[in-house]
């Protein structure tokens, strides 16, 4: 899995209940053709990234097929989640 580009938008909590900074991050992903996530149209991963007094974490992730906007029913592996978290920590906010 290779992250090629990203876009991020800060999510505001109008209620003030949630602590820290929250971002919706769209990560464009390249995967090899022999990977089960491979789609000819390509994929991206939408994550909710949180940074607060307890540290940084990804609280939600969704894998989406580009062009059709179809959600793919796959769980990320631990090393993939770590890669996404590291990327967000370095590049977001």
- Average pLDDT (68-73) is 94
Q: Using CA of residue 11, residue 37, residue 89, residue 7, what is the dihedral sign?
A: negative
Whether the pLDDT of residue 45 is over 80: the answer is yes
Return the pLDDT at 39. Answer: 94
C-alpha–C-alpha distance, residues 13 and 9, integer Å: 13
C-alpha–C-alpha distance, residues 1 and 37, integer Å: 9
As a whole number, the mean pLDDT across the chain is 94
């Amino acid at each position: 899995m290779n992250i090629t580009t990203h876009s991020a938008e800060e999510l505001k909590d109008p209620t003030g209940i949630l602590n820290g900074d929250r971002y919706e991050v769209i990560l464009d992903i390249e995967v090899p053709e022999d990977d089960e996530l491979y789609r000819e149209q390509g994929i991206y991963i939408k994550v909710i990234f949180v940074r607060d007094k307890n540290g940084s974490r990804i609280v939600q992730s969704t894998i989406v097929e580009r062009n059709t906007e179809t959600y793919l029913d796959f769980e990320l592996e631990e090393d993939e989640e770590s890669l996404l978290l590291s990327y967000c920590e370095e590049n977001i906010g």
